[in-house]
């Protein structure tokens, strides 16, 4: 009995190319407050979105191995880029492990109303991957979809900059070509972008609905853990441990700040 509870009390491992996945961690804690978490940010190798597929795969496997060595009972790939590059292979390597990835929340955006106009913001790698092309193909008759690669955007969040004038100007330039498209919604297809939501909102205006995949991912993880009978039966609030490949105190402080940041 004790051994079973110990198994269930093991942490959930969460990783991202940097600090962005903390937006998913926030949702995981909302959905499963009694679980324990190890969050690994690979800020040393960020951004992933402009790297080669092979590099992102290798980093993703290193992150997964690290978290499993630390005792993780399941993995959340809190990075759209790493999910599209590596999650299928990862499930092949660890077939028994609950592994959940994140993908752009195109489904709720496309089904929001009759034929909406949807802008999907993501990294260059995410929009180029076959996985995203298939996702777009699934909804192409239901919505007008504009995929937009946003190189340079995650760097603001990595630097802890969520509301500078520079960020605002960057977003204005990036989104300018879509401002006359009568957008109904914007999908934040990179886990860093919810931290820039306030500024994105300022550029696109209040009539546009903004979606992200964090909550859906957290619910899916709960479902997968329940299926594997690995949910923590404890009722006390769990703990969160941050680790980062740039393990300076400033970096860890940024992680703690982002965990508390309203998004
Ligand atoms: N946070 C990552 C994502 O969700 C990507 C940022 C990057 O490393 O380029 O796609």
pLDDT at position 4, please? 65
Q: Is the pLDDT of residue 2 over 70?
A: no
- 2-102+214-260 topology per CATH: Rossmann fold (3.40.50)
Which ligand 1 atom minimizes the distance to the CA of 47?
8
- Calculate the alpha carbon distances from 54 to 4, 24, 49, 58 in Å: 37, 24, 12, 6
Pocket lining: 42 vs ligand 1, CB cutoff 6 Å? no
Render pLDDT for 51-106 as a digit per residue (tens, 0 to 9): 999 999 999 999 999 999 999 999 999 999 999 999 999 999 999 999 999 999 99
pLDDT category at 247 given cuts 50, 70, 90 is confident
State the pLDDT confidence band at 5, using cuts at 50, 70 and 90. Answer: confident
> If you measure from the C-alpha of residue 229 to the centroid of ligand 1, how many angstroms do you get, rounded to a whole number?
30
Domains 2-102+214-260 and 106-212 share a fold: yes
DSSP 213-254: SHHHHHHHHHHHHHHTT------S---EEEEESS--HHHHHH
Ligand 1: residue whose CA is nearest its atom 9: 49
Q: How close is the Cα of 19 to the center of ligand 1, in Å?
A: 9
Give 195-238 pLDDT, tens digit per residue: 999 999 999 999 999 999 999 999 999 999 999 999 999 999 99
Q: How far is the CA of 158 from the centre of ligand 1 (A)?
A: 10
The answer for residues whose C-beta is within 8 angstroms of residue 85's C-beta and 6 or more apart is 48, 53, 56, 57, 60, 125, 129
Share of the chain above pLDDT 90, in %: 96
CATH number of the 106-212 domain:
3.40.50.1860
Whether the pLDDT of residue 122 is over 90: the answer is: yes
C-alpha span between 119 and 73 (Å, rounded): 35
Domain definitions of the chain by residue range: 2-102+214-260, 106-212
The verdict on whether 255 is a catalytic residue reads no
- Can you state the angle between helices 165-175 and 197-204, rounded to 10 degrees? 50
């Amino acid at each position: 009995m004790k051994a079973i509870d110990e198994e269930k009390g093991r942490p959930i491992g969460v990783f991202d190319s940097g600090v962005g996945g903390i937006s998913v961690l926030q949702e995981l804690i909302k959905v499963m407050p009694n679980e324990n978490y190890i969050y690994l940010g690979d800020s040393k190798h960020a951004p992933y979105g402009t790297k080669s597929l092979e590099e992102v795969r290798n980093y993703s496997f290193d992150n997964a191995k690290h978290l499993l060595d630390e005792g993780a009972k399941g993995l959340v790939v809190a990075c759209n880029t790493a999910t599209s590059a590596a999650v299928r292979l990862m499930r092949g390597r660890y077939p028994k492990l609950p592994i959940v990835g994140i993908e752009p929340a195109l489904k709720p955006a496309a089904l929001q109303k009759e034929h909406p106009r949807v802008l999907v913001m993501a990294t260059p790698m995410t929009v180029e991957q076959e996985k995203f092309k298939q996702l777009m193909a699934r909804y192409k008759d239901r919505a007008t979809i504009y995929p937009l690669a946003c190189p340079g955007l995650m760097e603001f969040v990595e630097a802890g900059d969520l509301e500078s004038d520079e960020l605002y100007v960057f977003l204005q330039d990036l989104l300018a070509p879509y401002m006359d498209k009568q957008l109904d919604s914007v999908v934040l297809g990179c886990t860093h972008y919810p931290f820039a939501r306030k500024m994105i909102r300022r550029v696109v205006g209040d009539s546009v609905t903004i979606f992200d995949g964090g909550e859906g991912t957290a619910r899916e993880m709960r479902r997968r853990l329940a299926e594997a009978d690995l949910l923590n039966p404890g009722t006390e609030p769990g703990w969160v441990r941050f680790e980062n490949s740039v393990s300076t105190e400033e970096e860890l402080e940024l992680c703690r700040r982002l965990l508390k940041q309203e998004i």
